[in-house]
Amino acid sequence: MQTANAALNSHAAPSAALLRGTPLARSAPEASALGSFRRLAKDEEVFVEGDRAAFFYKVQSGAVRTFKLLSDGRRQIDAFHLPGDIFGIEPGEEHRFSAEAVGDATVISYRRSNLNAETKDAGDIPNEMIPAVLLSLVRAQNHMLLLGRKNAVEKIASFLLDLSGRTANTDQIDLPMSRTDIADHLGLTIETVSRSLTQLERQGTIELPAHRRCIVLRNKPALERLDM
């Protein structure tokens, strides 16, 4: 079970500017000064549910998925973390998720205990990390609505819009993750993801080029109507 953290050799405190900005602003990747790099191969573990939460992380390149498993292997990916995103902050001593690289990725790890002790509060979460926690919460709350009350096509539409807003300036999305990952994020099966994408393509809302990891948004208003 213990794996990932052993590979870390971080000993520096993170920059105070780590999480500056508006509550929901993502700090830019280049703003991360101190902390140790870690290069991850596709599907490599960063930490496993139950590990001691000695570090938290910021994605520098690639993408990371955090997820929980049921005993029979069913998986729920609570979030994909893109460059600039922070993940692995825990209220308690242990990680309550597992984290893996979606594709090849690099992350910066920060030793939790190295943060200024006096900035710590009752929750044992330093002030600088609170915006990241709040962002997680907002996303989790929106995602509950998606998981509980949207149908397959609506889930896909919301997902594409979210990803588009977080990554692309254009209407072209380069998916870092597989259909299986998308399915486990949206509470669907891989086949339903595929069929929903096909359906959106047939009605001209999106375009699915030959390269399967790419999706072009052809009719954003139509997607937005599905997202309300």
Partner DNA sequence: CGATGTTTTGAAAGACTTCAAGACAGGTGG
Partner DNA sequence: CCACCTGTCTTGAAGTCTTTCAAAACATCG
Q: Residues in the site for a copy of itself, rule: CB under 8 A?
A: 19-21, 23-24, 68, 70-71, 74-76, 78, 91-92, 96-97, 121-125, 127-128, 130-131, 133-138, 140-145, 147-150, 184-187, 228
Instruction: Report the distance separating Cα 210 and Cα 225, nearest Å.
Output: 27
**Residues in 117-156 at the binding interface with DNA, rule: CB under 7 A:** 151-153
Q: Determine, following the binding rule CB under 7 A, whether residue 76 of this chain makes contact with DNA.
A: no
Across the chain, the runs of DSSP E, i.e. the strands, are 36-40, 45-47, 55-61, 64-69, 75-81, 86-87, 98-101, 105-111, 172-174, 206-207, 214-217
Residue 147: name its binding partner from DNA, a copy of itself, none (Cβ under 5 to 8 Å by kind): a copy of itself
Cβ-Cβ contacts under 8 Å for 95 (sequence gap 6 or more): 47, 48, 49, 50, 51, 52, 53, 88
Contacted entry of DNA, a copy of itself, none for residue 124, CB cut-off 5 to 8 Å set by kind:
a copy of itself
Stretch that binds DNA, among 5-13, 17-25, 95-103, 188-196 (CB under 7 A): 188-196
When asked if residue 213 is in the footprint of DNA (CB under 7 A), the reply is yes
Q: Is 203 in the site for DNA (CB under 7 A)?
A: no
Strand partners, 217: 206
C-alpha 97/C-alpha 51 separation (Å) is: 9
Give whichever of 55 and 97 is closer to a copy of itself, judged by the CB atom.
97
The residue within the footprint of DNA, chosen from 64, 197, 200, 223 (CB under 7 A), is 197
User: Cβ closer to a copy of itself: 8 or 115?
Assistant: 115
Task: Decide which of a copy of itself, DNA, none touches 144; Cβ closer than 5 to 8 Å per partner kind.
Answer: a copy of itself
d(CA 135, CA 6): 28
Q: What are phi and psi of 171, to 5 degrees?
A: -95, 15
> How far is 183 from 181, CA to CA, in rounded Å?
5
